[in-house]
Amino acid sequence: MEKTLKPEDSLSVIAEMVSKTKRNLQEGSFYYLMWGWLALGAAGVEYFLLTYMKSDWHPIVWPVMGVLGGIASAVYSRKAHARQGHTSFIESAMKIVWMAFGAMMVLAILMGATQNWSLAYVLIIALYGMGTFISGGILKFRPLIYGGVACWIISAVCILWSSEFLHFPTMLIMLMISLAVGYLIPGYALKNSEAKNNAA
């Protein structure tokens, strides 16, 4: 049956449906926490390989981390989409941001492998900052914006005080700090915010 509407009924139908699309907040904290802990683990293993094992194979942790994280993200994203039943504009925008981040990471790793690993890490920290800052802007979530700015400050500190910070294994410690402030702290804040939104 087709139910025709009065103008005021139309407006209330539109308002009700708009509120339903707004209520379906995406669950983004999983990605920050998963990638944050995975990268922190990878940096820790690299620090161990470099400091205690004196291995030249220390950068191997990053491709391994990329493959593991990529598989976990793809599986989670597929399940989340099936559960949600729709794709929001925010998710589409975030996908493009993180695809650009992935491409820049590959370039940074190429730069590290062919030129200078310490400088590549400065760029990687700045890239973490860029991804987090843009995501924070899209989601209108301040802790992510602050996390992104913190990563840029850490990156600038490494460049400006290069004699203190721009060498291994100190760079790995700086990377671990940037992962904590850029991913993990905002990731847990986002998780709390999602829990509150879902409870409301």
Partner 1 sequence: MLPDLDPLLHTQLRLQIVTLLAGVEDADFNWLLENTGATRGNLSVQINKLKDAEYLTVEKGFKNNYPLTTCKITKKGREAFEKYVAAITKYIKHQQK
Judge residue 172's burial from the number of C-beta atoms within 10 Å of its C-beta, 0-12 exposed, 13-18 middle, 19 or more buried: buried
Q: Which is nearer to partner 1, 8 or 56 (CB)?
A: 8
The answer to the question of residue 99 lying near partner 1 (CB under 8 A) is: no
| Minimum CB distance to partner 1, residue 192 (Å) | 25
The answer to the question of residue 114 lying near partner 1 (CB under 8 A) is: no
Half-sphere exposure of 140 (CA within 13 A, CB side): 2
CA 174 to chain centre: 17
Helix axes 142-160, 170-179, angle to 10 degrees: 170
Q: Which of 77, 63, 187 is nearest to 132 (CA)?
A: 187
Q: Which of 23, 21, 27 is nearest to 191 (CA)?
A: 27
> Quick check: 109 and 121 in contact, CB under 8 A?
no
Judged by CB under 8 A, the number of residues near partner 1 is 26
| Minimum CB distance to partner 1, residue 71 (Å) | 18
The answer to the question of residue 4 lying near partner 1 (CB under 8 A) is: yes
Provide the mask over 47-86, with x wherever binding to partner 1 is found by CB under 8 A and - wherever it is not. Answer: -----------------------------------x-xxx
4: left (phi over 0), alpha (psi -120 to 50) or beta: beta
Q: Which is nearer to partner 1, 21 or 115 (CB)?
A: 21
The answer to the question of residue 140 lying near partner 1 (CB under 8 A) is: no
Q: Which stretch binds partner 1 (CB under 8 A): 13-21, 44-52, 116-124, 161-169?
A: 13-21
Q: Which is nearer to partner 1, 22 or 54 (CB)?
A: 22
- List contacts with partner 1 (CB under 8 A): 1-5, 7-11, 13-14, 17-18, 20-22, 82, 84-89, 91-92
